[in-house]
Amino acid sequence: MIIDVNVHLSRWPFRRLPCDELPKLAENLQGGGVTQAWAASFDGIFHKDVAAVNASLVADCRKGPPGMLLPFGTVNPTLPDWREDLRRCHEEHKMPGIRLYPGYHGYGLDDPALAELLTMAEDRGLIVQLVVRIEDTRMQHPLMRVPDVDPKPLAKLMAARPGLCLLILDALKTVQGNTLDALLAAGQVYFEISMLEGVEGIANLLRHVPVERILFGSHLPLFVLESALLKLQESELSPDEFKAITHENARRLLAQRGSDPSR
């Protein structure tokens, strides 16, 4: 069993990807042993009609294999109706969480609207996924340069919200050292492995991050699933560590919020 917490549906606007069509993406996930994928939509990054994007995401997830695709809606706090988007994600679409793109939506982590959003998500028991980067700057279109999100303000935000669960995506290439330590100490902060680099990357990460804070993520379809699977193989993980990273930690987060579809 593998739960992939970092997947996107729809198409990346700057190039075609091998798994940017739903049937191929589902086939790829199943072939890699993924039984559940937490999916957002690329459209949520660029479209202003976020409500329509989230409704389409839910419909697309239902077209996949039963129970495989779990929708995580987009909320953009720079848009005037973001509070209603958050409400719809929780109350109407019954999503277990939301995904945020500060770099692409143009706000810093010290923005008061983000603080309000996180408080609302905490009150509703939603998992918040925050994306640090989508693409390496070397791959970005020259007219669409988006720097990595500076995660430093997150520690203070999390310390003030002990009930909030924050899963930081696409971060382990840039979030390291004292910043990583501060985030882990601040509250319920978790990381996924898609951008982890280096030989025995997970084994090295475990020297700094407790195993219960690490989840499996592939960043499919921008990355290939096999890259994340190889990270599991080339580090010497105990059976308990392997199970925790591949599915037990993700299932625990869902179960804590009454959102585990397998229960």
Q: pLDDT of 124-164, one tens digit each?
A: 999 999 999 998 777 778 888 898 999 999 999 999 999 99
Q: Which CATH number fits domain 2-256: 3.40.190.10, 3.50.50.60, 3.40.50.300, 3.20.20.140?
A: 3.20.20.140
Residue 104 phi, psi (nearest 5): -85, -25
Single-letter residue type at 134: I
In angstroms, the CA 18 to CA 31 distance is 14
pLDDT at 209: 97
* Cis status, amide bond into 221, omega within 30 of 0: yes
Rounded to an integer, what distance in angstroms lies between the CA atom of residue 129 and that of residue 40?
10
Element housing 98 (H / E):
strand 97-100
Say whether 32 sits in a helix, a strand or coil. coil
Q: What is the pLDDT of residues 170-229, one digit of tens each?
A: 999 888 899 999 999 999 999 999 999 888 999 999 999 999 999 999 999 999 999 999
Q: Are 142 and 130 in contact (CB under 8 A)?
A: no
